[in-house]
Amino acid sequence: MSKNVKVKRGLKLSFKGEAEKILEEAPVSKNYAIKPPNFYSIVPKTTVKEGAKVLAGDELFYSKYSDQTRFVSPVSGIVKEIVRGAKRKILEIRIEADQEISYKDFGSLDPLSASEKEVKSKVFSSGLGVFLKQRPYDILANAEDSPKAIYVSAFNTAPIVGDLEFILKDKQAHFQTGINVLTRLTEGKVYLGVEANSNSYLKKLENAEIINISGPHPAGNVGTLIHETEPINQGERVWTVGAEDVAIIGELFSTGKYNAERTVAVTGESAKNRKYYKTLIGAEIQSFVGEVEENSRFISGDVLTGEKVEPDNFINFYDNELSIIPEGDNYRMFGWLPFKDNHVHSMSKTSLSWLFPNKKYSVNTNLNGEERALVVTGEMEEVMPLDIYPMELLKACMIGDIEKMENLGIYEVIPEDFALVDYVNTSKIEAQEIIRNGLDLMITEVG
């Protein structure tokens, strides 16, 4: 079965710096790191000490609130360092990798012939549960829950990101097995979002309802797919899984090995070697990034939702992109004058860039102004495909009005759904941060 989803509201962003569709094996990283802050809302409790020997798949820590949610090592080696911050908060667990990776054997299992209990037990006991996220709130899935549906998006519409279909082309068998696993975790449907205008091999997969996506960003966001198929009401839960993570789940069920392979697209105008690199989760950025222009911003993730990282740090757990763009630390003389900087992409008709929708523009980190009053302009609504009032929801989050937040759709959104609001909003407010704070309040007060 398939369903067509055509998004009209949104924004197509064409930036310079896409990665060439060339896949290379990244040089072996000497060190790897798992960062507990990558897993929202958990309090980690370590099960290893510095100097301990681990296999790929051995447990490093678990969540204080659920010992069934386990976090495992992507490689075999020695636990080199447990990096702590303020109040002894665990920031990273660094592992010095062996020359040749040794794997813990979890044993293979056919998900279609096994019981639902056996499948769920294997998913969470092997550390695969961290790939499952719950909506609402965008937190890790609870092993005790049964979601009404599970969503996977294999079509990323954000600018200069990796092509998921290209990333998955050599993992089709494991991806299918992963889909089979997901069908055993829900009594509802498993939805798979793919590009409508393509002859993708993903459309031939079994045990998933295909959603053919077309339209501008954020058409490919999981939140958009949920809104167009089975919107979340109070008390309901759905789970979401990253496309490449589905293949990791499938491989463990097929082979018994936790193979934390991650294909990272190096993108952005400041990167000189813009390609796809096959590495492992938590690898050192310097092991694959190549040459980079001076005075550049490193972003783990895409340019709209990613997190700033240092060049000597590690790729974040869920990310398939490393975006490298110029630092916007220069001021544009008389930048407020209309029709002056037409080389800068803008939604405003005061720049002639709107006449050239297919032109690729340079992008940097310049905000082009500072925070201003939040006024009604209609910009937010133009780029928000969800049937909500974005400005009113932001205001409700800012004042902490839980009843209004519920009525305005807080259960349907996560920060990434407001990424374009950040990009186009004249007020320069941090919409994604406001939504995250609102979700924090909902978790604390409502649960």
247 to 83, 176, 188: CA distances (angstroms): 30, 8, 21
Would you say 148 and 235 are in contact if contact means Cβ atoms under 8 Å apart? no
Going by C-alpha positions, the residue among 69, 38, 32, 35 that lies closest to residue 54 is 32
Please tell me the predicted confidence (pLDDT) of residue 351.
Answer: 74
pLDDT tens per residue across span 423-442? 999 899 999 999 999 999 99
In DSSP terms, 298 is beta-bridged to 309, 324
CA torsion through residues 389, 390, 394, 397, sign: positive
pLDDT tens per residue across span 159-218? 999 999 999 999 999 999 999 999 999 999 999 999 999 899 999 999 999 999 999 999
Residue 156 has pLDDT above 90, yes or no: yes
| CA separation for the pair 261, 41 (Å, rounded) | 25
Please tell me the predicted confidence (pLDDT) of residue 1.
Answer: 67
DSSP 365: S
Would you say 207 and 190 are in contact if contact means Cβ atoms under 8 Å apart? yes
Pick 130 or 332 by higher pLDDT. Answer: 130
Residue 293: half-sphere exposure toward Cβ, Cα within 13 Å: 17
| CB environment 158-194: b (16+ within 10 A), e (fewer) | bbbbbbbbebbeebeebbbbbbbbbbbbbebbbbbbb
DSSP 225: H
Q: Where are the domains of the chain?
A: 1-27+105-328, 31-97, 367-445
Contact partners, residue 117, CB within 8 Å, separation at least 6: none
Q: Per the confidence metrics, is the pTM higher than 0.85?
A: yes
- CATH code for 31-97? 2.40.50.100
Would you say 313 and 29 are in contact if contact means Cβ atoms under 8 Å apart? no
pLDDT tens per residue across span 318-353? 999 999 999 988 776 666 666 666 667 777 777 777
Residue with tokens 């949610």, as numbered in its chain: 69
Mean pLDDT, all residues of the chain: 94
369 to 301, 365, 418: CA distances (angstroms): 24, 11, 19
SS3 of 447, please?
A: coil
| CA separation for the pair 287, 266 (Å, rounded) | 12
Residue with tokens 């005075």, as numbered in its chain: 295
Q: Which helix (H) or strand (E) holds 63?
A: strand 59-63
Pairing outcome for strands 31-34 and 53-54? unpaired
| CA separation for the pair 257, 57 (Å, rounded) | 8
